[in-house]
Chains A and B, each alone.
Chain A
Amino acid sequence: MVRNESVRVDGMKSSPPASRVWVLAVIAVLTACGGKPGTQSAAASGSPVDPARGSPGRSVVTIQNTGSDTLVNLALAWAEAYMGIHPEVRLSVTGGGSGTGIASLINGTIQIANASREMSRDEIATAAKNGIAPVRFTVALDGIAVVVNPENPVQGLTIRQISDIYTNKLLNWNQVGGDDRPIVLLSRESNSGTYVYFLERVVRLGSSKGKELFSAETLLMPSSEGISVEVMQNPNAIGYDGLGYVTPHQKVVAVAEETGDRYVLPSAPTVLDGSYPIARPLFMYTAGEPAGAVKEYLEWIQTEGQSLVKDLGFVPFERGEQ
């Protein structure tokens, strides 16, 4: 969540001779001037990678992998494990959100985009304009946990109740069987894939025609860390986040589709058998059908790589095989 901004300044400070400082300053100014939209992407693709030519011989292939913050830890674990087996492949993984990953894929600066949602029609159209036909791979499943403070006595909520809470129709915890406390709404930032999924699945009750929006009172937290800190401290708070991000200091609420249905806690088995209602697939997108190293990597993720998924709090997507 925290983007480091002061790297260049620090570097300048640590070079004592005045002349060198000047030279660095001039370089810094020049590079700052050049930071126009177009040139940035050119700089990022400075180490161009041709996935089609990825010859697993002696030359090192670099694969850039960017996107969903939900997926970033899993993607890092995959990358580390894969680089252990295949030293000829270098994977660089960064987060930033599904939107960021998809935008970079469209701009042609990366080979694999991580996304916790499907690409929107607009994004596919923009990609087509750039001559890119994105291909989607399902890499894991994720349950979205609804979390409250451990002091909160509420055990279970229906989807309808959660929707009413997030649209400010229910304002006090005693309306859903809790203490007499105001409800404080927490959400991820509006361009997080988790936000979009939660809005469509829960706030709009799963209907694609829904017009409901998160209440303007909703606190938009820039990171999962922000949500977990506030939920941990504040007995009024309710939040949601990927199952992999739930810490022991938060209390997970059981969720039922409708009143009368069974309340289900999110876990690997309940996500996999579909009994937990707020679960979604996680994707990786490539620009066009992958080839070479990228193809091999994605095949590895979908087979052997699935063994790492559970350790990070997600659910392996395969049903039939093992």
Chain B
Amino acid sequence: MRAGKRPAAGRKRGTEIAVEALIRALGFSTVALVALIFVFLLREGMPAFFTISPGNLFSTAWYPTFGFFGTLPLILGSLIVTVAAVIIALPLGVATAVFVREVAPQWMREILKPLIEVLAGIPSVVLGFFGMTMIAPFVRQILGAPTGLTAFTGALVLAYMSLPTIISVAEDALDAVPKSYRDAGLAMGATKWQTIWRVVVPAARSGILTAVMLGTGRAIGETMAVMMVTGNAARMPIGLSALFKPVRTMTATIAAEMGEVARGGIHYRTLFAIGIILFIITFLINLAAATAIFQKRRQGGLR
């Protein structure tokens, strides 16, 4: 009997090793792909930092066909649209998550959750077209801006697009708060609202922060909708009034111009350089999120 069993066990170990090797290879390939993309980005984009003088590259004039490669309006354009979008989306997203998780009855939750996920599936082109034909005239007529294609319009569309991410991640964070916290709060004589606002939300703080960071990442990388509604004027967005004027973002610039540049030319390299800048900004955001979460953990918070 023993002799009969051994080969079977041996065979099993063999397939196990094979499966393990396969999984390991697949796991590493993901990391390798990211590394390769980064290497590609660097190889295509780095020459721009050497061939274009820094004074030109970080000036305020973006006329790539005429040798002016000032990326400053594009960087600031991306930042103003993203920050505004997050400011709009944060209260909406967290409030929705709190409502779905803590307030809404079971049957309503079952309707709301899939609906929110459907929201994530709307193609950005569709939202962009909606923004261009519906939101832009609204912004122009109600707010009195000369044109409706403004940073604010872009922020509205982006806020809408990052909402599903923020809601579902924040909801998961609220879900992870143990029931005992709520019970304790209620037992102490707190009302339901006090329990939610003073106990549950603070306990899920780091998860909510992650939600906001992921939403920011979604917003800063979005291209199509932004290109359609922000007007794409490469002006310097300075001051609060810039929110109601057109801007040009980094992603829209890459998307609009990449198709038509001569491969290997300065303009082509500069677009990749913008890609590197975008990569660095996104990386810093993720790093900030990770650090925040790590600190919270060490302080003994949840998640």
Residues of A near any B CB (own CB < 8 A): 2-3, 6, 29, 33, 36-37, 96-100, 103, 106-107, 122-123, 126, 181-184, 189-192, 196, 213-214, 216-222, 226, 229-230, 233-234, 236-237
**Contact present for A190 and B228 (CB under 8 Å):** no
Determine the residue in chain A with the shortest Cβ distance to B150.
Answer: A219
- Which listed residue, B149, B234, B261, touches A216 by the CB 8 Å rule? B234
- B260 and A103: CB pair below 8 A? yes
CB contact list, B236-263 vs A, under 8 A = 236, 245-246, 248, 256-257, 259-263
**A107 proximity list for chain B (CB < 8 A):** 263
Q: Mark B52-72, 1 if CB is under 8 A from A, else 0.
A: 000000001111111000000
Q: Is B205 an interface residue (CB 8 A)?
A: no
Decide if B232 touches A97 in the complex (CB within 8 Å): no
Give the interface centre of A96, A123, A226 by most chain B CB atoms within 10 Å.
A226
Q: Which residues of B contact A36 (CB under 8 A)?
A: 40
Interface size on B, residues (CB 8 A): 44
Question: Contacts A190-B65, A230-B149, A233-B137 given: A222-B232 contact, CB under 8 Å?
Answer: yes
Q: Which of B63, B227, B234 contacts A222 (CB 8 A)?
A: B227
Known contacts A2-B125, A230-B147; A126 and B262 CB within 8 A of each other: yes
- In angstroms, Cα B262 to Cα A106, docked, is 9
Which residues of chain B from 205 to 245 have any CB-CB distance to chain A below 8 Å in the complex?
A: 224, 227-228, 231-236, 245
Q: Give bound CA distance, A37 to B245, whole Å.
A: 37
Judged by a CB distance under 8 angstroms, whether B295 is at the interface is no
Cross-chain contact B133 with A213 (CB below 8 angstroms): no
Contact assessment for B36 and A33 in the assembled complex, using a CB-CB cutoff below 8 Å: yes
Contact among B136, B228, B245, B248 with A233 in the assembled complex (CB-CB below 8 Å): B136
Among A96, A214, A218, A219: residue with most chain B CB under 10 A: A219
What residue in chain A is nearest B245 (Cβ atoms)?
A217
CA distance A3 to B259 in the complex (A): 10
Shortest CB-to-CB span from A43 to chain B, Å, is: 15
Instruction: Say which residue of B62, B147, B245 sits within 8 Å of A234 (CB atoms).
Output: B147
B117 to chain A, nearest CB (A): 16
CB distance from A132 to the nearest CB of B (A): 14
Distance of A294 from chain B, by nearest CB (Å): 23
The answer to whether B133 and A184 have CB atoms under 8 Å apart is no
The 5 closest A-B pairs by CB, nearest first: A99-B260, A191-B260, A219-B231, A182-B146, A220-B232
Given contacts A217-B246, A229-B133, A230-B147, contact A191 B231 (CB under 8 A): no
When chains A and B are docked, how far (Å) is the Cα of A217 from the Cα of B224? 21
A-B contact pairs, 19 of them (CB 8 A): A2-B224, A3-B259, A33-B36, A98-B260, A99-B260, A103-B263, A189-B256, A189-B257, A191-B65, A216-B73, A217-B235, A218-B233, A219-B147, A220-B232, A230-B147, A230-B149, A233-B133, A233-B140, A236-B147
| A96 and B260 contact, CB distance less than 8 A | yes
Which A residue's beta carbon lies closest to that of B73? A216
Q: Bound state CA distance, A236 and B33, in angstroms?
A: 48
Report chain A residues within 8 Å CB of B65.
190-191, 196
A6: chain B residues at CB < 8 Å are 123
- A237–B147 touching, CB < 8 Å: yes
Q: Is the CB of B257 within 8 A of A190?
A: yes
**Chain A's nearest CB lies how many Å from the CB of B70?**
10
Which of A123, A213, A219 has a CB less than 8 Å from the CB of B66?
A213
Chain A residues closer than 8 Å to B263, beta-carbon distance: 37, 103, 107
User: Taking the nearest CB of chain B, how far is it from the CB of A236, in angstroms?
Assistant: 5
Q: Does B45 contact A (CB under 8 A)?
A: no
Query: At the interface, yes or no: B148 with Cβ under 8 Å from chain A?
Result: yes
Q: Does B94 contact A (CB under 8 A)?
A: no
The docked-state distance in angstroms from the alpha carbon of A100 to that of B262 is 8
Collect the chain B residues with CB atoms within 8 Å of residue A106's CB: 262
B233 touching A220 by the CB < 8 A rule?
yes
The reply to whether B246 and A190 contact each other, CB–CB distance below 8 Å, is no
Q: How far is the CB of A193 from chain B (nearest CB, A)?
A: 10
Distance (whole angstroms) from the CB of A24 to the closest CB of chain B: 15
> What's the Cα separation between A29 and B137 when bound, in Å?
42
Of A98, A216, A220, which contacts B61 at CB under 8 A? A216
Closest to B267 in A: A191
Known: A219-B231, A219-B246. A234 touches B148 (CB 8 A): yes
Name B180-195 residues within 8 Å CB distance of A.
Answer: none
- Report chain B residues within 8 Å CB of A100: 259-260
Q: Are A184 and B262 in contact (CB under 8 A)?
A: no
| Interface residue from A97, A192, A222 paired with B228 (Cβ < 8 Å) | A222
Most buried by B among A106, A122, A123, A233: A233
Q: Are A190 and B261 in contact (CB under 8 A)?
A: no
Are the C-beta atoms of A97 and B259 separated by less than 8 Å? yes
A128 to B231, CA, bound (A): 38
Q: Within the assembled complex, what's the spacing in Å between the Cα atoms of A257 and B260?
A: 32
